[in-house]
């Protein structure tokens, strides 16, 4: 258990509406990540954060923005949701042991955009 919670766990929304997903961690990790999981694509990185107010884009960042105003929370916003953003969204933290980094995942948020 990596002390990660995600909210909401399920959401149905309509095309064109903004949506914000929250990832909360309790272990004070510096690095946090947002992935989306789609059948046949595995997990793809959307955005990541390497500290408070420090974020960068991943492989599939178009249509998404993130914010990290405090260490424990990493927010993912779909600025104007589209049906192609229907997916399962996973947050992850990176836990390091010396030079070895291992990512651990939250329970996921299932988003349906109608």
Partner 1 sequence: AQSVSQHNHHVILSEAASLELGCNYSYGGTVNLFWYVQYPGQHLQLLLKYFSGDPLVKGIKGFEAEFIKSKFSFNLRKPSVQWSDTAEYFCAVGSNSGAGSYQLTFGKGTKLSVIP
Residues that bind partner 1 (CB under 8 A): 31, 33, 40-45, 48, 50, 54, 56, 58, 90, 94, 99-108
Task: Tell the smallest beta-carbon distance from residue 17 to partner 1 (Å).
Answer: 26
Q: Which residues of 58-84 are buried (b: 16+ CB within 10 A; e: fewer)?
A: bebbeebbbebeeebebbbbbeebeee
Task: Tell the smallest beta-carbon distance from residue 83 to partner 1 (Å).
Answer: 21
Nearer to partner 1, 2 or 75 (CB): 2
Task: Tell the smallest beta-carbon distance from residue 15 to partner 1 (Å).
Answer: 26
Nearer to partner 1, 12 or 17 (CB): 12
Nearer to partner 1, 13 or 37 (CB): 37
Q: What is the DSSP string of 41-108?
A: TEEEEEEEEEETTEEEE-TT-TTEEEEEEETTEEEEEESS--GGG-EEEEEEEEEEETTEEEEEE---
Task: Tell the smallest beta-carbon distance from residue 51 to partner 1 (Å).
Answer: 9
């Amino acid at each position: 258990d990596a002390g990660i919670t995600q909210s909401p766990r399920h959401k149905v929304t309509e095309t064109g509406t903004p949506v914000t997903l929250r990832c909360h961690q309790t272990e004070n990790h510096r690095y946090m990540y947002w992935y989306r999981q789609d059948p046949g694509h595995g997990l793809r990185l959307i955005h990541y954060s390497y500290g408070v107010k420090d974020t960068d884009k991943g492989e599939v960042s178009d249509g998404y923005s993130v914010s990290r105003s405090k260490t424990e929370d990493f927010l993912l916003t779909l600025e104007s949701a589209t049906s192609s953003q229907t997916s399962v969204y996973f947050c992850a933290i990176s836990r390091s042991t010396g030079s070895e980094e291992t990512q651990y995942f939250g329970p996921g948020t299932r988003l349906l955009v109608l």
